[in-house]
Amino acid sequence: MPRKPTKHNKSGEIGLSVLKLSDSDIESYLYLSLTKFKRSDGLIENSRCATYGQDGRFSVGGQKVAYMYQMVAFWKFGRKRMSEVVASKGADSLTISHLCGTRNCCHPYHIVLERKRINDERTHCHYVLRNVKEASGYRGISKFLGKGWCPHTPTCCERVE
């Protein structure tokens, strides 16, 4: 049974800051930001990661509004589903997870919603996969995944539309 949501230790909020925005504001911010994403090779072959700014934060007038990947997740999953993601997370809390292992990646096909404990488990896979990629490239990643060594569904390094 999921625990009762508690307030975030810094913001004091229960829900994500992105939920304070209107749907039209989120759409406008995403549209205005389209040319500002930085593309980089991550762990998913032929699907480059997209990061925003230095730390992933989207700001207006010097004030942080939300992390850009949260706005992309909002666009992908909708307000109702995103309202299930809380700011302070326990092991069974729903969280935004990056299949690519790239912190703050905003590529919609690299983002899923899943329990924090599963997201935390992915950290181990991503660590191993980074080392495999460094040693053997994407061919090594394919081999790792082909052997079934990633226990997750969807598997790490998989694009999800």
Q: Is residue 6 part of a domain?
A: no
Give a yes or no: residue 28 inside a domain. Answer: yes
Does any domain span residue 154? no
63-67 and 57-60: which strand pairing? antiparallel
- Rounded percentage of the chain residues whose pLDDT exceeds 90: 80
| pLDDT bracket for residue 1 (50, 70, 90) | very low
For residues 145 and 158, what is the distance between their CA atoms, to the nearest angstrom?
10
Residue 81 falls inside a structural domain: yes
Q: Which domain, by its residues, includes 99?
A: 17-146
Question: Residues 96, 73: contact at Cβ < 8 Å?
Answer: yes
> Cis bond leading into 154, ω under 30°?
yes
Query: Domain count of the chain?
Result: 1
Q: Which of 67, 53, 116 lies closest to 88, judged by CA?
A: 116
pLDDT, position 16: 86
Task: Please report, for residues 10, 95, 103, 120, the alpha-carbon distance to residue 123 in angstroms, rounded to integers and kept in the order given.
Answer: 24, 14, 11, 5
Indicate the pTM of the whole model. 0.87
Q: 57 in a domain, yes or no? A: yes
Confidence (pLDDT) at 89: 76
| Model pLDDT, residue 13 | 59
Average pLDDT over residues 58-65: 89
Contact 89, 96 (CB under 8 A): no
Residue 60 lies in a domain: yes
